[in-house]
Amino acid sequence: MQVILAQLKPEREGFGGIVASMELLDAANLAEPVSAARHLLGSLLLRTLTDGTVLTARIVEVEAYFQEDPASHTFAGPTRRNVAMFGPPGHAYIYLSYGLHWCLNVTAGPVGYGAGVLIRAVEPLTGVARMEELRGRAGRELANGPGKLTRALAVGPELYGHDLRLAPLQVADAGQLAEAQVIASPRIGISRAKDELLRFHMKDSVHVSRR
């Protein structure tokens, strides 16, 4: 991971060697959704566009959802929409929110158990100009929300169920952040299980969501 970060220089495109040299997502760290959320916080998201451009961003805000959780899409059991969350860990569960916005989750837990981690905000690192183009906005509003980051990274339903160890959408595990770096709080925008502290974000990050 240290090697990777050293190579990442803002606004430089075309990182041929990055994908091969970074530590890919380890399923062992996704065995349980809450620890998975903590592991994913601080990790990198790499999106390779069809023209070869690689967009990278650091995950700064996540939420954990699990099967016994009334707020989870998996609470009532497997359906056509949520099957990915019952599949192997480390894959993409993507759903349409409010008929308008696509949201990205990393599946967690063993096969047969419906759980995942919603990626709520990222800090753009490289390919920022391209993200601004895709998003139609710049600055702080670029990727500070679950529906915003998917737009900025061109993530949609075509990546449903995608293995996140592989291009064109990958997660590089950063390991667990120091406890003092992480803030736990209630999840946002849900009507059930409102009080559980299952939202995690990086302390002092200006890239977290605002509401």
Partner DNA sequence: TGGACGATTGACT
Partner DNA sequence: GTCAATCGTCCAA
Q: Which residues bind DNA (CB under 7 A)?
A: 63, 65, 71-74, 76, 79-82, 85, 93, 95-101, 103, 105, 116, 118, 137, 141, 145-148, 187-191, 209, 211
Q: Tell me how far apart the alpha carbons of residues 35 and 159 are, in angstroms, rounded to a whole number.
A: 24
Q: How far is the CB of 197 from DNA (least distance, A)?
A: 15
Closest to DNA by CB, 1 vs 190, is 190
Nearest distance, CB of residue 2 and DNA, angstroms = 31
Return the number of the residue (130 or 148) whose C-beta is nearest DNA. 148
Residue 34 CA to residue 126 CA, distance in Å, equals 28
> Which of 15, 93 has the CB closer to DNA?
93
Give min distance, CB of 40 to DNA, in A: 12
Between 4 and 208, CB nearer to DNA:
208
C-alpha to C-alpha distance for 182 and 3, rounded to whole angstroms: 23
CA neighbor of 55 nearest in space, from 42, 71, 44? 44
* Minimum distance of DNA from residue 131's CB (angstroms): 12
Minimum CB distance to DNA smaller for 182 or for 188? 188
Nearest approach in angstroms of CB 181 to DNA is: 23
